[in-house]
Structure 1
Amino acid sequence: MRFKASIQNINTFTKLTASLNSLGPLAWVKLSDEQVCFTIIPEQGTQVWAVLSIDAIFETYTVQSAANNVINLEVPLTSLNRALKSALNATSAQIRLTKKDNQPLLALTIMTTSSSNSYAAFPTTGGNVNEDDLEQIPMDDGLRGNRETIITQEVPVRVLGPDTVAGLHEPQCREPDVHIILPPLMQLKSISDRFTKLALAGAKAGAGVGTSSRTRLEMAANMHGCLKMSIRTDAMSISSVWTDLNNPELDPSQVAGGEIGIAEHPSTRMKQLGSADGRSEEGWAIVRIDGRDWGKVMSVGRLGGRVIACFCHEHALILYVYLPSDNGEDESVLTV
C-alpha cells in the first residue's frame, strides 16, 4: 500500500487535529480516492464523523492499496497534532505512509527557510531529523542568503484491515424536529463553561450531593430562530437565549418525498408552533447534555465555518460543522 500527499492547508489540518484530540486520543482515518475521513468513537462521550474533500487539506494526493485503493489507519491525535504544529511556518510539507523496523509510520517532512541575518537551524546529527535535534548556530558571513532545512516528524500508526472497520458506521437518527444555524461556537463554549463551573461550585457547596447531576446543560431551539442554553440546580437556575438566528430551508432533493416530504417533516410541524421572541413554551425541541462533554465539542469552533444543529426532541443533538473552502462551497463537514 502507498500513501503520499503534499499539504496545502497546514493551518486547517492543525486546527482539525487539535479539535478532534479534545474529543478522543485516537482517530480512525480512512484514506480513499474520493475523500479523507476522520472518525472518533470513544467508549463514552461524543462521536465524530468528519468527511473532508481531498483539496480541503492536500494539494497532491496519492493512495494505493489492494483494498480498492482504501487505507484505514489508527492514528494518535496528540502525536499528529504536535507534528503538524512544527510545520505551521514551513515553506512546504509532505506526509506519507512508511515503515521503520516493521512499525508503520506517518512521516511528516517539512521544509523551512531561515534567514542568514543572524542565525540558522542546522541538524546536529545530519540528514532528516526530529525537531528536538535541532540547535541554533550563528551563521558565518560567507553563508549569506536563505538556508533550507528539512525536518521529518514520525508518528507511529496502526494499519487496520477491512474486516476491522467493516462494522463501523455512522449512527442513524430520525429526522430532526428543529434545525438551526448556531452562533459562533467559541461564544457558546464560553457561556457553557461558565454555567458548568457555577453548577460544580454549587454542587460542592451542597452537602451529600453528587456533582454528576449538577453538570447537565439543557439545550433547546425552535423553528423561529431561537436558541436557549440553561442549567438548573437546587440552588440556582440560569439561562441564555439567542434570537434572530437562521433556520435553513430544507432542500427537496435531500428529503425523501420531495415537496410532500417537506410538508410532512417534523420541523415543518414545529414551525407552526412557538414564536420568534422565544417566550412561547410551545415549539421547542430540547436535549440534555453533559456540560463538560459539550465544552469539548465546542472546541471544533476553532475551525470556523457555519454550524447547523439538528435537535431530535429528548433524544439527540447532531452538529454539522462545515469547513470553509476557497471556492465558497461546503465540501467538507464534521458530524458531531
Structure 2
Amino acid sequence: MRFRACVENVPTFCKIMQVIDRLQKKCIIQFKPDVMRIICLSDANEAGIQVWSEIKVSTLFNEYRIQSNADNIISMNIASASLLHALQGIQNALATSGTGSGLGGEEVLMKLAKKNDQALLNFALTTPTRTGRLQSLTYDVRIEVLRALDMTKINEPLCPDADTLVLLPSLPTLRSPVERLRALSSTLFVRANIGPPTKLLLEVTGDENEVKVKVEFGVKYVQINRQEEEDAEAPGKDKERLYSVPIVAKSFVKFLNCHIVNGHVIAAICHRHCLILYFYIGSAGADAGGVLTFYIPSLVDDGPM
C-alpha cells in the first residue's frame, strides 16, 4: 500500500476540514485514483447529519500517486481536529514565510507512513523563513486504515426522489435569519415549491405554539439531471404546493459553516423524509471542484400538506 501527494491547495483543504471538524470528531477519508471522499456518519454526531463528499484530486493535489490491493483505494478513520491542526500549522507556516498561500509553488508533501506500528498520515513542508533560512515542518496524524470489507458495510443513505430542488441564497445571507429562528425553536421547517415563482420558506413555531415566524426567499428551481426536469414538467404536477421537511435547527446551522468555502448549494426536499444539501465547491455542476452532500433526516411528521 503506497500513497503520496503534494497538497497544492492548502487553504481549501483547510476550510473543508474546518466544516467537518465542527460537525464530527472523527471522519472517514477515502483516497481513490480520481477523487478524495470524506464521510461522516449520523451515529457519530448529535445533529443526525450524514456527509458524503467527493472532491476531485485536481482540486487539492498534484503529483498524486496511490497504489493498493483494493483497486488502488485507501480508506482510513481519522480525527478531524488532528488533520485540521496539521493543515492550519502548514498554512500558518506558509503565511509566515511569505512564500505564498499554499495555492501552488510550495511543496507540501502528504504520504502514508508508520512509526512504532502506528499508521500515520504524514505532512512535510520545507520553506524559507523571513531571514532566508530554510525551515522544515512535519506533522504526523494518527489514522486507522480500514479494510475494503469494512467499507462495504458503510453505505450512502437511500432517499426517495426529491419533490423539489432549489438553488439556495448565499450561505452568509441565510446565517443571520436561521440563527434567530433557532433561538425560537429547536425544530426548523424547510419548505419550497417548484414554481415559477419558486420560493423557499424557513419557519419555526415557538413554545406552546404561541408564535410562528417564517422567512421567505425568492429562489430558482433547478434540475440536477433530465429526470428532475421531466418530473417538474409532468402534467398535473402542482407547482404551487409547498413540499416540507422538519429538521433539527441545529443541523442546518452546522451546515451553514460551509460558508467559509467558496461554492453554491442546491437543496433537495424529499417531503417529510429528509433534506439533502449539495454543496458544490467553486462552480456548480460538472465544473465543480467537488460536492459535499449533507443528508439531514426529517425530525417529525408535520401533518397533512
- 2:11 is equivalent to residue 37 of structure 1: no
Residues 230 and 113 of structure 1: CA distance in aligned 2, closer, same or farther (over 3 Å):
same
- 2:33 is equivalent to residue 59 of structure 1: no
Aligned-partner SS, 1:294: helix
Whether the 8 Å CA contact 1:271–1:283 is kept in 2: the answer is no
Larger Rg: 1
Structure 1 residue corresponding to 2:189, chosen from 214, 218, 229? 218
Percent pairwise identity: 26
Q: Deviations over 1:253-275 (max 9, x none)?
A: xx3xxxxx843x2x44599535x
* Equivalent-residue separation in structure 2 for 1:58 and 1:17 (angstroms): 15
CA-CA distance at 1:40 after TM superposition: 0.4
Provide the TM-score with structure 1 as the length reference.
Answer: 0.77
Structure 1 residue corresponding to 2:215, chosen from 219, 226, 240? 240
CA-CA distance at 1:107 after TM superposition: 0.9
* Equivalent-residue separation in structure 1 for 2:70 and 2:116 (angstroms): 24
Whether the 8 Å CA contact 2:186–2:250 is kept in 1: the answer is yes
Runs of 4+ residues over 4 Å off in structure 1 = 269-272
Matches within 5 A, 1:104-115: 104-115=119-130
In angstroms, what is the RMSD of aligned CA positions? 2.0
* Equivalent-residue separation in structure 2 for 1:250 and 1:112 (angstroms): 43
Q: Deviations over 1:280-301 (max 9, x none)?
A: xx41111111111211111122
Whether the 8 Å CA contact 2:223–2:229 is kept in 1: the answer is no
- 2:163 is equivalent to residue 188 of structure 1: no
- 2:56 is equivalent to residue 98 of structure 1: no
Aligned-partner SS, 1:157: strand
* Equivalent-residue separation in structure 1 for 2:179 and 2:256 (angstroms): 10
Q: Deviations over 1:176-211 (max 9, x none)?
A: 1110000112322322112112x2xxxxxxxxxxxx
Q: Deviations over 1:101-137 (max 9, x none)?
A: 1101111112332222xxxxxxxxxxxxxxxxxxxxx
Residues 60 and 113 of structure 1: CA distance in aligned 2, closer, same or farther (over 3 Å):
same
Between Structure 1 and Structure 2, the one with more strand by share is: 2
Residues 195 and 235 of structure 1: CA distance in aligned 2, closer, same or farther (over 3 Å):
same
Structure 2 residue corresponding to 1:298, chosen from 256, 269, 274? 256
* Equivalent-residue separation in structure 1 for 2:136 and 2:72 (angstroms): 29
Q: Which amino acid aligns with 2:5?
A: A
* Equivalent-residue separation in structure 1 for 2:180 and 2:271 (angstroms): 25
Whether the 8 Å CA contact 2:165–2:223 is kept in 1: the answer is no
* Equivalent-residue separation in structure 1 for 2:242 and 2:290 (angstroms): 29
Matches within 5 A, 1:150-299: 150-197=136-183, 199=184, 214-224=185-195, 225-233=198-206, 234-243=209-218, 245-249=219-223, 251-252=225-226, 255=227, 262-263=229-230, 265=231, 267-269=232-234, 272-274=237-239, 282-299=240-257
Residues 315 and 42 of structure 1: CA distance in aligned 2, closer, same or farther (over 3 Å):
closer
Matches within 5 A, 1:6-155: 6-43=6-43, 44=46, 45-89=48-92, 90=94, 91-116=106-131, 146-155=132-141
Whether the 8 Å CA contact 1:219–1:228 is kept in 2: the answer is yes
Whether the 8 Å CA contact 1:20–1:300 is kept in 2: the answer is no
Whether the 8 Å CA contact 1:24–1:42 is kept in 2: the answer is no
Residues 150 and 310 of structure 1: CA distance in aligned 2, closer, same or farther (over 3 Å):
same
CA-CA distance at 1:99 after TM superposition: 0.5
* Equivalent-residue separation in structure 2 for 1:106 and 1:169 (angstroms): 25
Aligned-partner SS, 2:202: strand
Q: Between Structure 1 and Structure 2, how many residues are aligned?
A: 274
* Equivalent-residue separation in structure 1 for 2:236 and 2:172 (angstroms): 28
Whether the 8 Å CA contact 2:83–2:141 is kept in 1: the answer is yes
* Equivalent-residue separation in structure 1 for 2:57 and 2:205 (angstroms): 44
Residues 160 and 79 of structure 1: CA distance in aligned 2, closer, same or farther (over 3 Å):
same
